[in-house]
Amino acid sequence: MPLKVLIVGAGICGPAFATMLRRSDPEHSITVVERHPEIRHNGLQIDLRSWGVPIMQRLGLIDAVREKVVHEEGLSFVDTHGRTHGVFGASGSGTGQQNFTSDFEIMRGDIVQILYDASLEGSKPSSDSEDGPGVRYKFGTWVTGLAQDEKGVDVTLSDGATERYDLVVGADGQWSRTRRLLFGEEAGLDMFKPLNLYIAFYKIPKEPQDDAIARFYQPGDGRCIVTRSADRPYTQAYLFVRTDSEEVKQAVERQSVESQKALFEKLFRGVGWQAERMLKGMHESTDFYADSLGQIKTPHVVKGRVALLGDAASCASPITGMGTTVSLLESWILAGELARQKNDVPTALAAYDAKARPYIEEMQKLPPGSPWLMTLKSRCAIALLHAILSFISWTNLDKFVTWFTPEEKGGLPLPEYPELKLDPVP
């Protein structure tokens, strides 16, 4: 029997899961609710790595990704005078095996649009009713209540409407309301494990020296600045700070933009290189976003007939480079198990919970030395790092290591689900 499914969140994994579910059985009735009034095109550069690449190939969307890729050629480490201490190019592998810069760098809004369009392709809901086949989106709407039994989930929405579903999927991000409703407010928030790392990012006007190489600058005291431009008409600015300061935490986590900008102004004023340009652009930006970075550690990614996906289930943190891949892989496993178990929701969710776990553990492994190496405290440590990076870059040791790195992270292969009716990658 086809399922009546509610997906909470229209970021990356919401539309991805809707696409996979609809293709496996066009008779499913799939509703996606999103609290924003439309698909969000904000956010800066993200990438595909590891299992994310073959999944997009299976979906027939890799060419659409290639049409939108940001042509970033690599990453250089610079000092306060702008002198380069090591340049690391993109791997050029065209697979999930990547270097600092992926071959599949793409703006977040572009990949969201690709997946959103794919989820609606060939889908023609017969009416406004949620009982017919197809995919439909409800914007400006969110979940305020969940009550479930053995046969379904009763959902209350922000507009006061109530509806019953066979399955609810929370794909609503790091601070997931679905997770908090499922496990309790306090327990849901406590599943966020901070790295004591805070980030602000936004766009600033592009200048002539902003080329296809991203730049990474550390002034010390746990701070760093990253810029990325490539072939875009603007420059992306990223400010990072690592600290256990309660003052910083209180000024960043779910606070006003004014409070966040004031904090980053205080932390980055006068730190050298292009800091003044970054701060001027920050105050003029209209797309500023700041948050704390960490990982979501859940005992289970399902409870009853509710499942979590992506950052809501297992945020790996941006410094792993695996956020987009987490969203795609968990969507793949959940959709695959539902198809394999012939829409037996309890059995499929139990299988998803078990099969996703080793992949989650692998994806949440932080790169060696992270986040400390990217936010060093002393200038002596930074000078030593620059010397090491210069040597690695000069000897091409990074390319040698990448050559012998498996495409599948941790050597785990992409699970095969012929039941999804997608062609295997040749």
Query: pLDDT for 177-194, tens place per residue?
Result: 999 999 999 999 999 999
Give the distance from CA 315 to its chain's centroid.
Answer: 8
Q: How confident is the model at residue 400 (pLDDT cuts 50, 70, 90)?
A: very low
User: What's the predicted TM-score (pTM) here?
Assistant: 0.92
Q: How confident is the model at residue 345 (pLDDT cuts 50, 70, 90)?
A: very high
Q: Which residues contact 243 (CB under 8 A, 6 or more apart)?
A: 196, 198, 222
Could you please report the per-residue DSSP string of 151-198? S-EEEEETTS-EEEESEEEE---TT-HHHHHHH-HHHHHHTEEEEEEE
Q: Looking at this protein, which amino acid is placed at residue 159?
A: D
Cite the DSSP H helix spans in 231-270.
Answer: 246-252, 257-268
Give the E-state strand segments of 55-152 in sequence order.
Answer: 74-78, 84-89, 105-107, 134-139, 143-148
Map residue 281 onto helix, strand or coil: helix
> What's the pLDDT score for residue 204?
97
Q: Which residues contact 172 (CB under 8 A, 6 or more apart)?
A: 8, 9, 11, 35, 142, 178, 179, 312
Q: In the structure encoding, which two tokens stand for residue 205, read together?
A: 């006007």
> What's the pLDDT score for residue 99?
58
Q: In the structure encoding, which two tokens stand for residue 219, read together?
A: 């002034």
On average, the pLDDT of the chain sits at 91
Mean pLDDT score, 239-261: 93
* Distance from C-alpha of 198 to C-alpha of 31, rounded to nearest angstrom: 34
Map residue 85 onto helix, strand or coil: strand
Taken in order of first residue, the domains within the chain and their CATH numbers are 4-69+106-191+297-364 (3.50.50.60), 73-103+195-292+371-395 (3.30.9.30)
